Amino acid sequence: MTTDAAGPLESVASARRALGEGRVSSAELVEAALSRAQERVALSAVVGVRPTRAREAAAASDARRAAGEALSPLDGVPLLLKDNMVVRGEPTTCGSRILEGFVSPYDAGVVERLQQGGAVILGRCNMDEFAMGSSTENSCFGPAHNPWDPTRSCGGSSGGSAASVAAGIVPAALGSDTGGSIRQPAAFCGVTGLKPTYGRVSRWGLVAFASSLDQIGPLTRSAADAADLLAVIAGHDPRDSTSLPEPVPDYAAALDGDVSGLTIGLPRECFVEEGVEPGVLASVRAAVEELSAAGAKLVEISLPHTAHAIATYYLIATAEASSNLSRFDGVRYGRRAAGADDIDELYRRSRSEGFGAEVKRRILLGTYVLSAGYYDAYYRRAQQVRTLLRRDFDAAFERCDLIATPTTPELAFPLGEKSGDPVTMYLSDIYTVTANLVGAPGISIPCAPVDGMPVGLQLLGRRLDEATLLRAADAFQRRTDFHEQRPPGPPEDPT
């Protein structure tokens, strides 16, 4: 059933080519993606599909194309969203029981832009509850699995989005990244994951976790596909007061395969043996050498406060989360505990029944660090260290155009391995959190696998310089085929 249209689903570029040449219709792509989702249901990557609305959108796209009026490179391409971006008339759960029964009365900014570009929104992807986690194990739907090895984590919190693209269910998905939640699962699943500059993509209709850090971005096969997605979703939105007004450049035009004028900084703090798996480090070093062979200049740089980034991140992110999640109170939406006699009991019982353990842990930590007597010692100090991290980046970008690091210190870890120890789990984001704290764009692209598991090279850029980031990532992918490697297919049906 899927064989005819499966090829075009492999990437945005192949879907677009097949649609443009009339070899496949959007309607066929949607059917193929729906059956792929069904075949790969054991991954728990997809938590909800909307076949009727997707088929309607595909039919409309096919009609536009027949009339020669395709709206964007994404017209007719089926996509999945992380389950924290609202779509009018559809559920949004954020992987939480507290949003049981919620149906959005409006569309997120990214949803409007995707629909204006003709993309077909197929459904929703699994995630850590309220995006709090690095493994997609903290979900009310149960853990998502890594398509390369289902006993391992697909990363998180946008794990379902990364796994869906890796498994070939859809050619692209959107995720959100607060401390690495697009880039880390991209690395674990062998796909390309882009976190744009803070403010580049509207957060209107993205359920807030940490408002000064959250950013939506694409998970795709390639940097070229990511450029197509970003071109559609980026841009100013007056409904998000932190949305940046700068014009959106032509990202696709920047992909010329040439890195000869670029200087890439290698932070000495990120290229030490300590705390990173030797195979991962070797793979990332080889990837950087490949960029050097392509003409980029490599320089050693220093980001002296790197060791303090995780602590800074967890204080700021949890403080913001404790405030943002106060809106889930059993009054306006979601789950309400039965039988409460007064309003305070209603709040406490609805929240205690609705939130999972990691969300409670972070709300408590955030409440603590914002409370009288601890605010200066924890929250204010973390904001001051955030300034030091920003200065580190500003100084580094005077010496280089891009920064290269491993995306993660290790390969995808076995499910259950870290779920009992929050601090060990948090350290999975050691190379990614700083980009969020300083607002810089970052991308993870597949480099040489280790023991059959994907590895991610992270590139970080100057604020609003996604074009250079995508150019270097694309140049690497023109010279390598790691991004084209596929995980094994679904296990044979024993019947």
Partner 1 sequence: MSRINRQEVDEIAQLARLSLSESEAAEMERDLERILDYVAALEQLDVEGVEPTAHAIQGVTPVRADESTEPMDPARAVENAPESAGSAFVVPRVIDEEGS
Instruction: Please list the active-site residues.
Output: 82, 157, 181
Q: What is the 3-state secondary structure (H, E, C) of 126-148?
A: CCCHHHCCCCCCCCCCCCCCECC
Tell me: does residue 344 bind partner 1 (CB under 8 A). Answer: yes
Closest separation in Å from C-beta 92 to partner 1: 10
Query: Where does this chain touch partner 1 (CB under 8 A) — which range of 137-145, 219-227, 436-444, 447-455?
Result: 436-444
Closest separation in Å from C-beta 368 to partner 1: 5
Q: Which of residues 139-158 bind partner 1 (CB under 8 A)?
A: none
Q: Which of residues 410-429 bind partner 1 (CB under 8 A)?
A: 422-423, 426
Per the listing, tokens 């106060």 go with 326
Closer by beta carbon to partner 1, 8 or else 133: 133
Whole-angstrom distance, CA of residue 158 vs CA of residue 126: 7
Tell me: does residue 385 bind partner 1 (CB under 8 A). Answer: yes
Tell me: does residue 181 bind partner 1 (CB under 8 A). Answer: no
Question: Comparing C-alpha atoms, which of 315, 311, 308, 323 is closest to residue 130?
Answer: 323
Closer by beta carbon to partner 1, 246 or else 289: 246
Closest separation in Å from C-beta 77 to partner 1: 30
Closest separation in Å from C-beta 360 to partner 1: 6
Which string of x and - marks every residue 274-313 that binds partner 1 (by CB under 8 A)? -------------------------------x-xx-xxx-
Closest separation in Å from C-beta 363 to partner 1: 5
Six-digit token string for 140:
């009310």
Question: Comparing C-alpha atoms, which of 174, 220, 162, 187 is closest to residue 44?
Answer: 162
CA contacts within 13 A on the Cβ side of 52: 2
Whole-angstrom distance, CA of residue 175 vs CA of residue 93: 14
Phi and psi angles of residue 257, each rounded to the nearest 5 degrees, phi first: 75, 5
Whole-angstrom distance, CA of residue 117 vs CA of residue 111: 10
Question: Comparing C-alpha atoms, which of 14, 431, 40 is closest to residue 222?
Answer: 14
Q: What is the dihedral of CA 25, 62, 48, 74, to 10 degrees?
A: 90
Q: Which of residues 441-470 bind partner 1 (CB under 8 A)?
A: 463
Query: Where does this chain touch partner 1 (CB under 8 A) — which range of 13-21, 136-144, 181-189, 435-443?
Result: 435-443
Which string of x and - marks every residue 353-372 that binds partner 1 (by CB under 8 A)? --x-x--xx-xxx-xx--x-
Question: Comparing C-alpha atoms, which of 238, 159, 236, 61 is closest to residue 412?
Answer: 159
Residue in 145, 183, 335, 462 binding partner 1, rule: CB under 8 A: 335
Tell me: does residue 381 bind partner 1 (CB under 8 A). Answer: yes
Six-digit token string for 163:
């796994």
DSSP at 15: H
Question: Comparing C-alpha atoms, which of 284, 316, 288, 344 is closest to residue 433?
Answer: 316
Query: Where does this chain touch partner 1 (CB under 8 A) — which range of 182-190, 289-297, 350-358, 446-454?
Result: 350-358
Tell me: does residue 206 bind partner 1 (CB under 8 A). Answer: no
Closest separation in Å from C-beta 96 to partner 1: 14
Q: Which of residues 96-125 bind partner 1 (CB under 8 A)?
A: 101-103, 105-106
Closer by beta carbon to partner 1, 148 or else 333: 333
Residue in 126, 197, 220, 444 binding partner 1, rule: CB under 8 A: 197
- Count the residues of the shown chain that bind partner 1, applying the rule CB under 8 A: 76
Q: Which of residues 225-244 bind partner 1 (CB under 8 A)?
A: 236, 238, 241-244
Tell me: does residue 322 bind partner 1 (CB under 8 A). Answer: yes
Tell me: does residue 397 bind partner 1 (CB under 8 A). Answer: no
Name the E strands within 3-54. Answer: 46-49
Determine contact, residues 454/446, Cβ cutoff 8 Å: yes
Whole-angstrom distance, CA of residue 289 vs CA of residue 443: 18
Tell me: does residue 395 bind partner 1 (CB under 8 A). Answer: no
Whole-angstrom distance, CA of residue 448 vs CA of residue 206: 34
Residue in 55, 64, 97, 349 binding partner 1, rule: CB under 8 A: 349
| Three-class secondary structure of residue 381 per DSSP | helix
Closer by beta carbon to partner 1, 167 or else 317: 317
DSSP track, 55-102: HHHHHHHHHHHHTT---STTTT-EEEEETTB--TTSB--TT-GGGTT-
Closer by beta carbon to partner 1, 41 or else 374: 374
